[in-house]
Amino acid sequence: MSSSREDVIKFTSSIEDDARLFSAVVNINKAHIVMLTEQEIIKQSDGAKILQALTSELDIKFDFSSEDVHMAVEEAVIEKTGAEIGGNLHIAKSRNDQVATAIRMTLRHQLLDLMLSVKELQQSLAKASEKHLETVILAYTHLQPAQPVTFAHYLLSRLDSLSRDLQRLQSVYARVNLCPMGAGALATTSFTINRERVSKLLGFDGLLENSIDAVGSRDFILETNAVLTLLAVSLSQIAEDLIVWSSPDFGLIELPDEFTSTSSMMPQKKNPEIPEIIRSRAAHVLGDFVASAAALKNMPSTYNLDFQEV
């Protein structure tokens, strides 16, 4: 292989970023083989051997020896079962529908984890508010003293904001959890596949029925990024309040030592570094949303490798 060709492969390969999709890709292939066997598209004995290989520990190297995780898994199965049997793994599917499915499966798990974290934060806010039903603080508008409120009132305002964030996460989850498998490259396949069976095996709530839309859309990523941006704004505002209120000029709260640091030159200082990092990283979420929108807006219909950058 020439060095120029190696450079091209490294430039276009997604293998270094694909580790997070590995589990989903293996499960997709398992479901696909079960369906192919049930539909009598491949022999039951061949399907059993492929499933055994997929269930065993696959020797996957996340380097440029494979173009992406999809090919790496197929190559590992072929190495275990031989080309004649392992080659059946790619029957009636494409990387186009498989990657879209793997992303949705990975993203739905991340959304569930995030929703649990938001609920935990809400529970912490509710618990703290119970302790401060009669704690009076000064509320501000324009950073100028405005009206007295209870600290519980403020905490519950943040809880309500997070409730809307949680509702948006639940809403986007419903659109993420739809199955593209069976769409093929863009116009499905002539094999008598059962898309509904694969969808159920993989735990999806339904199918993306139009095959062009199934492989050619990443709006679910853009929508997720938009929802995450709103959540990041909520968290950034909480962080900003903590930073301002913990300053000596305001003195409304004092952050625990484990969430602050001191100055190497001025040891009397108590710097709110954790809220500052939260405030800064919220901007990264907004940046990801803008970058995703910019990447998607000029793409023609169906699959393009630009999707790899979204």
The pLDDT assigned to 64 comes to: 77
Q: Are 49 and 78 in contact (CB under 8 A)?
A: no
Q: What is the pLDDT along the chain (310 residues), one digit of tens a residue?
A: 445 577 887 888 888 788 899 999 999 999 999 999 999 999 999 999 999 999 998 888 777 777 899 999 999 999 999 999 999 999 999 999 999 999 999 999 999 999 999 999 999 999 999 999 999 999 999 999 999 999 999 999 999 999 999 999 999 999 999 999 999 999 999 999 999 999 999 999 999 999 999 999 999 999 999 999 999 999 999 999 999 999 999 999 999 999 888 888 888 889 999 999 999 999 999 999 999 999 999 899 888 888 888 8
d(CA 21, CA 6): 24
- The domains found in the chain, sorted by start residue, are 3-90 (1.10.275.10), 95-309 (1.20.200.10)
Which H or E run includes 138?
A: strand 136-141
The pLDDT assigned to 4 comes to: 59
The pLDDT assigned to 1 comes to: 44
Length of the chain: 310
This prediction has a pTM of: 0.91
d(CA 220, CA 307): 12
d(CA 97, CA 70): 11
Token pair for 245: 């209120």
Q: Report the catalytic residues.
A: 142, 263
